[in-house]
A and B are shown apart, each in its own frame.
Chain A
Amino acid sequence: DAKTTQPTSMDCAEGRAANLPCNHSTISGNEYVYWYRQIHSQGPQYIIHGLKNNETNEMASLIITEDRKSSTLILPHATLRDTAVYYCIVRVYSSNDYKLSFGAGTTVTVRA
């Protein structure tokens, strides 16, 4: 039931910015966009989330388009340790509470 579309995989060079796109054209006005990543053999790790405005924290920046139909996660200086599967998720309200519905994500490989 994922409401997002992401590329299956992408490569980026160590030290360069990594821009991860996500389409969520059916997002509703009060639904947040969340990003998680999952490094091999670990549980998913929270990165960032946003509603309308662009957001930045110590890990990444999130750019959401004005119509909210797409967003981009930016890792400003990718390192080898950023190699992971990145999930873009629209948080929805169902069955009495908010839910995260994970898709297959984007496998990001950072190359030296």
Chain B
Amino acid sequence: EAGVAQSPRYKIIEKRQSVAFWCNPISGHATLYWYQQILGQGPKLLIQFQNNGVVDDSQLPKDRFSAERLKGVDSTLKIQPAKLEDSAVYLCASSFPTGGDTQYFGPGTRLTVL
């Protein structure tokens, strides 16, 4: 069974630039999550989707972060404009069918904002 795929694996941008991350969950997993992990800390949930609907985006900084999951499969997380403090690893996870089931994580995208 293929795992959660993420791309790119690494990204370096200047502050105020825009960046987008892509995630393809495990086939059949209805629930998709984006987490932010700052160095030395545990992952922090940014947003949770159930199919193509948002279940929880209470921790998403909506002034600069956005996410979508248009067809209930792949998802994109965007930051516009990026700040220095956005430097982190962005992790995507999926579960079947709800958050009550085990979450499986992708390898993450390491973002460095200069």
Chain A residues with a Cβ under 8 A of chain B: 2, 34, 41-46, 49, 87, 91, 94-105
Asked if B55 and A97 sit within 8 Å, CB to CB, the answer is yes
- Tell me, rounded to whole Å, the shortest Cβ–Cβ distance linking A59 to chain B: 13
- Chain B, interface SS category: loop
Chain B residues with a Cβ under 8 A of chain A: 4, 31, 40-45, 48, 50, 55-56, 58, 91, 93, 98-100, 102-108
In Å, the complex CA distance between A49 and B50 comes to 22
- Chain A, interface SS category: loop
B101 (CB) vs chain A CBs: closest residue: A98
In Å, the complex CA distance between A46 and B94 comes to 12
- Tell me, rounded to whole Å, the shortest Cβ–Cβ distance linking B20 to chain A: 19
Asked if A96 and B56 sit within 8 Å, CB to CB, the answer is yes
